[in-house]
Homo-oligomer: A and B are copies of this chain.
């Protein structure tokens, strides 16, 4: 049988045997080799590039591989079959989703400020951030031949006396440590746990006074972010994020669900998110904050409906099948030990509730943080992640929907697209006459560009439209040094020539990319439009627009309006609120009151199923122009040249 060697650009290799005729991407997945395949292997995205170093592959031609690249050995893993022994290079760009674990600096930064402000606002809206966790110092009598109470009875007696409770439940993780810890300092200990009326549940015991901790986790389809904080004070102790290891099974939730239905799929996807993603994040948080995982006594998880189903290990198949109903909206019964999370095994894991198949816990948690439920004015909440979700309303009502915007806002489905990480072009300006670009790049000074993230794509399309380089339909209409046309007359704008880029590959935006993006922004705008129409309202009635999600703080609202993505209302009404899902989860991680509030607001939220809603398809088609077929909706959109 042929031997396949995956050589990582960053060093290291994995060697496996395969059958002749196997598709290389499948071989890589089976071997857990991280190759990015947002389109799940249908040849569309061009992201799964590998380079043959030795041997041969039986590959289909691809529009994503130029003749020169073909000569250099570049192939798409999804379009290549094993023909014999082969060694391929897995480039870093392909494994970029792994986006090296990041632990963030908590002392400053725009995101931290946004986070802090949201929490101040949530508290201001009356959410009680206190909780019933208690840590208590106990000094017990040392056992003697006359006092041979076993450890658990001795502890129970001391807790009853000190806390004034009548019942004590000693959890499994506490029981396992009891004998040892009691004897570390002569039966003087700290016990941490949860008071419930007349009883106390002891969750952890230690000889030292260690902080009680809580973790909030936002499980995004693409990225998992988490914060560790002090359970009593709410002080942030650490923040970390990582790519969601499930991405090798497809960039969007549909591909993940399809993978889940295959034999062993549920276990594979759960392992990818828990053991390869969340647990390393939890370990990084604990290491960064200098606490033991057993000190994590509560967890809150916010993720879209599919993500929280896959996280728990529940089939998400019904999410994508009529009547589009998940297995649970709100379910309470999960402990960290059930999933093998790197935390106190008796810690409750609170899942932010879903309200529909495509509006999940990330949105209800985000709504908690966005305070829509506390205002008289009308707020439009837009979460731009791997998909787009909207909530609109005020203290009297809320309505919510999801639209199939796809992964374009995170750089998916765009040939040179990437996530908003180091090397991403996040802002672009063009000179009106020469069309030469001026761009800003995420990363340290001197960083060369790698690709375009969502905010950069919005800027570039807006600028190309403004300078007249592209038409309302997104077709190229000007000539210039940075505009090239292929033999079919399809144009592209070259933002960086090969020598200008980090990877030595051209960074450009072509008509296929622009078309993809126009459909994505059209989906967002038409969803806003349809949702408001369903209420007999229009955009003029919006008082606030909160933009959240992975598109990043670099988003230029003016440009987003210019291309017809967001409603053309006063710029002052817009605010970027960062990762509102994580912010909401943080509130829930600290407080049962925040948890109850989220359950209540979720129960009161109406879910609008757009895919079957009359008029939505027409609205969508009308929005697939720059800025819109009905230009009167966008009086401030400009085309200068």
Q: Tell me the A residues contacting B by CB distance below 8 Å.
A: 143-145, 147-153, 169-172, 175-176, 178-180, 183, 309, 312-318, 322-329, 331, 333-335, 337-338, 345, 354, 612
The reply to whether A179 and B318 contact each other, CB–CB distance below 8 Å, is yes
B contact residues around A175 at 8 Å (CB)? 312, 314, 327-328, 331, 333
The reply to whether B176 and A317 contact each other, CB–CB distance below 8 Å, is no
Minimum CB–CB distance from A305 to chain B (whole Å) comes to: 9
A-B contact list, 24 entries, CB within 8 Å: A143-B323, A143-B325, A144-B323, A145-B322, A148-B323, A148-B325, A149-B325, A150-B328, A150-B354, A151-B325, A151-B326, A153-B328, A169-B333, A172-B312, A172-B335, A175-B312, A175-B314, A175-B331, A176-B313, A179-B315, A179-B317, A179-B318, A180-B317, A337-B338
Question: Could you tell me the distance between the alpha carbons of A338 and B340 in the complex, rounded to whole angstroms?
Answer: 10
Give A349's nearest chain B residue, CB to CB.
B172
B contact residues around A323 at 8 Å (CB)? 143-145, 147-148
Give A607's nearest chain B residue, CB to CB.
B148
B contact residues around A354 at 8 Å (CB)? 150
For this chain, the copies found in one complex come to: 2
The reply to whether A327 and B179 contact each other, CB–CB distance below 8 Å, is yes
Give A323's nearest chain B residue, CB to CB.
B145
Give A324's nearest chain B residue, CB to CB.
B148
Give A146's nearest chain B residue, CB to CB.
B323
B contact residues around A150 at 8 Å (CB)? 325-329, 354
Given contacts A150-B326, A183-B318, contact A333 B171 (CB under 8 A): yes
Give A202's nearest chain B residue, CB to CB.
B333
B contact residues around A315 at 8 Å (CB)? 179-180
The reply to whether A327 and B178 contact each other, CB–CB distance below 8 Å, is yes
B contact residues around A147 at 8 Å (CB)? 323
The reply to whether B151 and A318 contact each other, CB–CB distance below 8 Å, is yes
B contact residues around A183 at 8 Å (CB)? 318
Minimum CB–CB distance from A625 to chain B (whole Å) comes to: 32
Minimum CB–CB distance from A317 to chain B (whole Å) comes to: 7
Question: Could you tell me the distance between the alpha carbons of A327 and B152 in the complex, rounded to whole angstroms?
Answer: 6
B contact residues around A151 at 8 Å (CB)? 318, 325-328
Question: Could you tell me the distance between the alpha carbons of A612 and B345 in the complex, rounded to whole angstroms?
Answer: 41
B contact residues around A335 at 8 Å (CB)? 172
B contact residues around A153 at 8 Å (CB)? 328-329
Among B171, B172, B178, B312, point to the contact of A176 (Cβ < 8 A): B312
The reply to whether B170 and A333 contact each other, CB–CB distance below 8 Å, is yes
B contact residues around A309 at 8 Å (CB)? 179
Question: Could you tell me the distance between the alpha carbons of A144 and B323 in the complex, rounded to whole angstroms?
Answer: 6
